[in-house]
Amino acid sequence: MIQAPRGTRDFPPDEMAYRRWAEGIMRRNAELFGYGEVSTPTFESLELFTLKSGPGIIDEIYAFKDKGGRDLALRPELTAPVMRMVVNSMRSAPKPIKLFYLGNCFRYDRPQSGRYREFFQFGVEVVGADTPAADAEIIALAIKNIKDLGLEDFRVKVGHIGAIRGALNVIEELPKEKHTEILQALDKERYEEVEEILVKYCGENDASVKVKVLEHVISITDIDELEKQDATTADHLKEVLKHLSHYGFEQYCTIDMSVVRGLDYYTGMVFEIEAPALGAEKQICGGGAYSLIKLLGGGDIPSTGFAIGFDRVLLALEKEGKRPGIGRKGLYILRAGSVPYEDMVGLAARLRLSGIPVDFPLSDRSLSKGMKYASSLKYPYVAIMGEEEWEGGKITLRDMATGEQETLSVEELIDRFV
């Protein structure tokens, strides 16, 4: 028996109903905030991802040559493809450009709980705005999505890459090209690597002092303390939090300068959302301000965005016991007594043509077996064509949740569900 490839999954109807429910919430919220949906190819030029993340990413992704010898890769994330699309076909569009997307991505990771080789990502990008209002809108949309899905225990950590870069710029002996290397080490909390780099350029005694300065900056969790270190960054984040207060979302946010990004194109505010229910691997969303379009040859245009790990959010919901029981939509039709099967087919056709989701037995089935089948698929209603009622043009509608029944005409039934 052939199995699905390692790190991938099949989604049967009940799982897809759950996923579509969650997708619907995220799509509606993005549209509420003025974002339009986009889609990009599942595979892209390999250069797109090596430009963004460096050649080391090749070992982490599905990279291959096509039959024409071109170097391609299955997309490992969606920000770079969306920015490539902006450069290719939306460069002259009025700014800001507000986009959202949901799609599958691929990484050659070791599969584990909540991490797959094929995974799904929901994200948004606003291109052409680098204000506190833009930063706050991105964070607010991420929080609204997570709250509306029903997750209760989550934390939003808000930082700013500017304070870290400012601390590095003070170290005159350190070449600018080494800043990224230090940021990458700080991002992974590898402080010994930071010290090794600083020792090389600053000497052993100075390096120890400078490591402590950097450790102090990334340990800041208070806006007033941040103001002492970097007043400009603190003022920016104060504005972000003020905007978030209009949504009532500032209560979920804490200043946390340990949120670091080890890539050159990150320029300002950065944030992460964690769900403690997931344990050690608890991050479900990450985002921030960046300048990737310039790297792709499209000019120095600021952007801000986030990506939600769709699979991880759903797993966090399940860990909290918040997964909703989502069944089929519409009606399941059954007949009783001597009602002709063809009448049931005709009724199903009429309801479907009226826009009502309908199913019925495709072979002769007893009423009791039909009810059991409808219940197993979580149909909210069953329409029963009883012999006497049907002769009078009536149908019995049963609410499967309450067990209550009422008798309706076909026209009344259509009015009820259209």
Domain range summary for the chain, segments of one domain joined by + = 13-319, 331-417
What pLDDT score was predicted for residue 41?
98
Calpha distance 94→403 (Å, rounded): 55
What pLDDT score was predicted for residue 152?
94
Give Cα separations from 354 to 149, 169, 341, 343, 406 (angstroms).
Answer: 31, 67, 20, 17, 21
Calpha distance 405→389 (Å, rounded): 13
Q: Which fold has domain 13-319?
A: BirA Bifunctional Protein; domain 2 (3.30.930)
What's the sign of the alpha-carbon dihedral 372, 374, 378, 384?
negative
Query: pLDDT digit string (tens) for 335-370?
Result: 998 999 999 999 999 999 999 999 999 998 899 999
- Asked whether the predicted pLDDT for residue 309 surpasses 80, the reply is yes
Query: pLDDT digit string (tens) for 55-87?
Result: 889 999 999 999 999 999 999 999 999 999 999
Please give the order of strands across the beta sheet that includes 253-255. Answer: 36-37, 97-106, 118-127, 303-309, 283-290, 266-274, 155-160, 253-255
3-state secondary structure string, the chain?
CCCCCCCCCCCCHHHHHHHHHHHHHHHHHHHHCCCEECCCCCEEEHHHHHHHHCHHHHHHCCEEECCCCCEEEECCCCHHHHHHHHHHHCCCCCCCEEEEEEEEEECCCCCECCECCEEEEEEEEEECCCCHHHHHHHHHHHHHHHHHHCCCCCEEEEEEHHHHHHHHHCCCCCCHHHHHHHHHHHHCCCHHHHHHHHHHHHCHHHHHHHHHHHHHHHCCCCHHHHHHHCHHHHHHHHHHHHHHHCCCCHHHEEECCCCCCCCCCEEEEEEEEECHHHCCCCEEEEEEEECCCCCCCCCCCCEEEEEEEHHHHHHHHHHCCCCCCCCCCCEEEEECCCCCHHHHHHHHHHHHHCCCCEECCCCCCCHHHHHHHHHHCCCCEEEEECHHHHHCCEEEEEECCCCCEEEEEHHHHHHHHC
Domain 331-417 has CATH 3.40.50.800: yes
Query: pLDDT digit string (tens) for 367-380?
Result: 999 999 999 999 99
User: Tokens in use for 267?
Assistant: 């320029």
What pLDDT score was predicted for residue 193?
86
Query: pLDDT digit string (tens) for 122-140?
Result: 999 999 999 999 999 999 9
What's the sign of the alpha-carbon dihedral 21, 78, 161, 215?
positive
- Asked whether the predicted pLDDT for residue 115 surpasses 90, the reply is no
What pLDDT score was predicted for residue 314?
96
What pLDDT score was predicted for residue 247?
96
Same-fold call for 13-319 versus 331-417: no
- Asked whether the predicted pLDDT for residue 109 surpasses 90, the reply is no
pLDDT category at 88 given cuts 50, 70, 90 is very high
How far is Cα of residue 15 from the mean position of the Cα atoms in its chain? 17
Count CB atoms within 10 A of the CB of residue 71: 13
Please give the order of strands across the beta sheet that includes 381-385. Answer: 358-359, 331-335, 381-385, 394-399, 405-409
Query: pLDDT digit string (tens) for 225-246?
Result: 999 989 999 999 999 999 999 9
Q: State the amino acid at position 353 in one-letter form.
A: L
Overall pTM > 0.85: yes
What pLDDT score was predicted for residue 298?
87
Q: State the amino acid at position 375 in one-letter form.
A: S
